[in-house]
Amino acid sequence: MAIQTLDKEVVIIGSGPAGLTAAIYSARANLKPLLIDAPVDAHKQTAPGGQLMITTDVENYPGFSEGIQGPDLMIEFRKQAERFGTEFLEEWITEVDLSERPFILRTDNYIVNAQTLIIATGASAKWLGIPGEAKVPNGFGGNGVSACATCDGPLPAFRNKTLVVVGGGDTAMEEATFLTRYAAKVYVVHRRDKLRASKIMQDKALHNEKIEFIWDTGVEEIVGQDDCGVTGVRLRNLKTNKERVLPCEGVFIAIGHKPNTDLFRGQLDMDEVGYLKTSGHSTATNIPGVFACGDVQDSVYRQAVTAAGTGCMSALDAERFLDHLPVAMPSGEEVTMEGEHITQDHRVIIEPDGSMIPNQPDKVLAKEK
Ligand X SMILES: Cc1cc2nc3c(=O)[nH]c(=O)nc-3n(C[C@H](O)[C@H](O)[C@H](O)COP(=O)(O)OP(=O)(O)OC[C@H]3O[C@@H](n4cnc5c(N)ncnc54)[C@H](O)[C@@H]3O)c2cc1C
Binding site for ligand X (CB under 6 A): 13-19, 36-38, 46, 48, 50-52, 54-55, 58, 60-61, 92-93, 120-122, 125, 146-148, 151-152, 260, 263, 294-296, 302-305, 307
What does the angle CA 213 – CA 215 – CA 219 come to, to the nearest 5 degrees? 95
Specify the residue, 217 or 261, whose C-beta has the smaller distance to ligand X. 261
CA distances from 175 to 84, 151, 305, 363 (A): 39, 10, 19, 56
Give the rounded distance of the alpha carbon of 317 from its chain centre.
19
> What crossing angle do the helices spanning 170-179 and 199-206 adopt, rounded to 10°?
30
Specify the residue, 62 or 354, whose C-beta has the smaller distance to ligand X. 62
Minimum CB–partner distance for residue 317 and ligand X (Å): 16
Minimum CB–partner distance for residue 223 and ligand X (Å): 20
Specify the residue, 305 or 356, whose C-beta has the smaller distance to ligand X. 305
Specify the residue, 64 or 84, whose C-beta has the smaller distance to ligand X. 64
Minimum CB–partner distance for residue 348 and ligand X (Å): 36
List the beta bridge partners of residue 41.
46
Q: What is the DSSP track for 300-342? A: S---HHHHHHHHHHHHHHHHHHHTT--EE-TTS-EE-TT--EE
Indicate the residue type of 240. Answer: T
Q: Say if residues 312 and 21 touch (Cβ distance below 8 Å).
A: yes
Give the rounded distance of the alpha carbon of 98 from its chain centre.
21
Q: Which residues are catalytic?
A: 148, 151-152
Minimum CB–partner distance for residue 41 and ligand X (Å): 8
